[in-house]
Structure 1
Amino acid sequence: MKALVINCTLKPTPAPSNTEALAAVVVAECARRGVPSEVVRAVDLQLTPGVERDMGGDDQWPTVHEQILASEILIIASPTWLGRPSSVAQRVLERMDSMLSETDDAGRPVAFNRVAGVVVTGNEDGAHHVISEISGALVDIGFTVPGQSWTYWHLGPGPGPDFLDDERGHDWARSTGKAMAANLIGVAEALSVRPLGPPPS
């Protein structure tokens, strides 16, 4: 079993990412439970606008698509900007739209029997809205989103310091992140035994 984290920060490498710092808590708990993770910083890639699996040219989405299909657990990590997911997160979800028409060898949607969760950071409120928007899109695509498969950090209301600049609220965000990892792995394991799929014809 493997996990993939798509970090949708607006900051290209090597800039420190508050969102990646919180996602690292989930990655560490997954590793402690025997599940390795890979982290992709989407802003570093050429992700061409569109809803096809491969938009041609220098589009790098096909590689990310392969990484998603090679993982049983997907985590979308996004900062909150103006109370909404980042523009990079929206681009990632739009590119995942192509998965709606893809099926596996058994005729099941390719997102079936994969679980997904959300990590959110921001120095103002809006985390629950971001979680809802991303989770809803992932369910539409076919992922299973377990209960409490998210964690977030903010110091709302109003602007303030960033996750890496202030220790307030870290204990809660970390404990919730560990619970998130446990729930994602637990449901992924259950689906591996009793997979979802269309009823026999």
Structure 2
Amino acid sequence: MKALVINCTLKPSPEPSNTEALAEVVTARLSGYGVQVSSVRAVDLDIAPGVVTDAGDGDEWPGVHDRLLESEILVVASPTWLGRPSSVAQRVLERMDAMMTETDDEERPVAYNRVAGVVVTGNEDGAHHVISEISGALADIGYTIPGQAWTYWHLGPGPGPDYLDEEEKGRDWAHSTGRTMADNLHGVARALTSHPLGPPG
């Protein structure tokens, strides 16, 4: 079984990413189940705007699309900016929109029988809104969203330290929730592998 993490931080590599650090709690748990985990930092790629799988010369989204189709588990990780998912997360979801019209050999949308979850960080609130927006979009595309398939960390009202700077406040809860997220993603992915959804009625 394979999992892909798409980190939608605004920070290009090799700048440290708070979102990546929290996502690693989830991926470590998945790896413990024997899941092969890979990740991509979307901001490092030239991903053209649009709602197509391939936007032509120079567009690096098709490589990400191929990795999505190789993975039973998807984790979209995003910081909170202005109470919303990052602009990079929005770009990723817009490109994934094309998957709604792509089907497999049994005429099922290609996202069927795949599961997805969300990781969010930020030093101000808005995490539940970001989780809802991303989860709703992924469900529209065809992913199955298990119960409690998310985790987040935020400091609370007002500016302050980031996840990587704050070594105590909220971390135990975010990590515990992240491990539960991984458990639920893996469990439902296994169930769908054994009992896959059929084509839409």
Per the alignment, residue 83 of structure 2 pairs with 83
**Aligned counterparts of 1:185 and 1:199: Cα–Cα separation in 2:** 24
Query: Separation in 2 of the partners of 1:36 and 1:153?
Result: 25
- Following the alignment from structure 1 to structure 2, what is the Cα–Cα distance between the partners of residues 31 and 121? 22
Determine the structure 2 residue equivalent to 1:143.
Answer: 143
TM-score by length of 2: 0.98
The equivalent residue for 2:187 is: 186
Aligned residue pairs total: 200
Letter in 1 for 2:12: P
Deviates more, 1:156-165 or 1:63-72: 156-165
In structure 2, the residue corresponding to 1:6 is in which secondary structure? strand
For residues 79 and 111 of structure 1, the distance between their equivalents in structure 2, rounded to whole angstroms, comes to 24
Indicate whether 1:53 and 2:53 are aligned.
yes
The one-letter code sitting in structure 2 at the alignment partner of 1:32 is G
TM-score w.r.t. the length of structure 1 is 0.98
- 1:177 paired with 2:174, answer no
User: Cα RMSD between the aligned structures?
Assistant: 0.8
Separation in 1, partners of 2:200, 2:136 = 24
Q: Deviations over 1:83-128 (max 9, x none)?
A: 0000000000000000010000011000000000000000000000
- Aligned to 1:16, the other structure's residue is in SS state coil
| Pairing 1:98-109 to 2, within 5 Å after superposition | 98-109=98-109
Q: Provide structure 1 residue ranges, at least 5 long, that are not aligned to the other structure.
A: none
Q: Is it true that 1:154 corresponds to 2:154 in the alignment?
A: yes
The AA in structure 2 aligned to 1:163 is Y
Q: CA deviation at 1:145?
A: 0.3
**Equivalent AA in structure 1 for residue 198 of structure 2:** G
Which ranges of structure 2 fall in alignment gaps of 5 or more residues? none
> Which amino acid counterpart does residue 13 of structure 1 have in structure 2?
S
For residue 118 of structure 2, give the secondary structure of its aligned residue in structure 1: strand
Shift of 1:199: 6.1
Over residues 137-165 of structure 1, what are the superposed CA-to-partner deviations in whole Å (9 max), with x where a residue is unaligned?
Answer: 00000000000000000011122110000
1:28 aligns with 2:20: no
